[in-house]
Amino acid sequence: MKICIYGAGAIGGYLGVQLARAGADVSLIARGAHLAAMREHGLTLLAGGETHTVHPRCTDDPAELGVQDFIIITLKAHSITGVIERMQPLLGPHTRIVTAVNGIPYWYFFKHGGQYENSTLESIDPGGRQWREIGAERAIGCIVYPATEIEAPGLIRHVYGNNFPLGEPSGEVTADVQRLADLFVAAGLKAPVLDRIRDEIWLKLWGNVCFNPISALTHATLDVICTDPSTRALSRAIMVETQAIAETFGVKFRVDVERRIEGARKVGAHKTSMLQDLERGRPMEIDPLVTVVQEMGRLTGIATPALDSVLAMVTQRARIAGLYDGVSTPSDPRALAVA
């Protein structure tokens, strides 16, 4: 089974080590000092007091690898459109694309049913290019729950978690998704195959849509955001708006708002990915985590005043810092006024 991990950073590197140790034919696409270190010394994972080093194929040129059975995309979601052309040599008639990314994936409305079937979302897939050129029909959903970090080039530290729920857009348990899940399990990972993968996508996004932008604006960690009365109330308001939108699309939440906030509080003094990106001078995932929810609200006619205001402010914050190149343009004049 040939597997290419496209974007072998912290999560991609963690998956690469675990899958290689399980015997998969793994190739990693990376760049810069991280790629150079992996080529020279292999890729090392620090996890649970143990150290594991593997030596998979590593490159910055996908054309060197040929057609793959699975491509696991672990890039930041806003980076995917920029690599569509480079990805083409990896695609064969039976290649599956595994979207191990945060937020709403490009294939969301594929086999969705209802009036929005086969719709594309401009905030995450401008012009529908991912849908057309990568192919919605290739997609397998994947939610990323582990926390990992690049401690040094070529060195990944696993912090916690090993759960990667998988699912077909149709909800079927196909041979492809079962084969991938079996490999993940053999690699020491949890990979339940879900018949309602979109529910799980929204459950994770439910926290990201509020905690991430609030943290980028306040520099607060999760425990502070969820404890301070003002930021907790703002988080709750955004989550209530988000839940109303998701439920319009048939999504079912298995926990309520307060339980979801409490779960985040218990994580402790954790910096969200958006705050980490801001501090490191990297583009922030505003569109796939926040703008897309606003766009889906516009589709359904559901007002999102709390989200609109926070989105306007965090977008402006990112632009001032030179860390935003997305498509977000708040469409509510009140949001623009707040910015």
Q: Any idea which residues carry the catalytic annotation? A: 204
Largest CA distance in the chain: 55
Q: What is the 3-state secondary structure (H, E, C) of the chain?
A: CEEEEECCCHHHHHHHHHHHHCCCEEEEECCHHHHHHHHHHCEEEEECCEEEEECCEEECCHHHCCCCCEEEECCCHHHCHHHHHHHHHHCCCCCEEEECCCCCCCCCCCCCCCCCCCCCCCCCCHHHHHHHHHHHHHEEEECCCCEEEEEECCEEEEEECCECCEECCCCCCCHHHHHHHHHHHHCCCECCECCCHHHHHHHHHHHHHHHHHHHHHHCCCHHHHHHCHHHHHHHHHHHHHHHHHHHHCCCCCCCCHHHHHHHHHHHCCCCCHHHHHHHCCCCCCHHHHHHHHHHHHHHHCCCCHHHHHHHHHHHHHHHHCCCCCCCCCCCCHHHHHHC
| C-alpha span between 310 and 50 (Å, rounded) | 42
Cα angle 270, 271, 275; round to 5: 170
Closest CA relative to residue 306, chosen from 275, 276, 330: 330
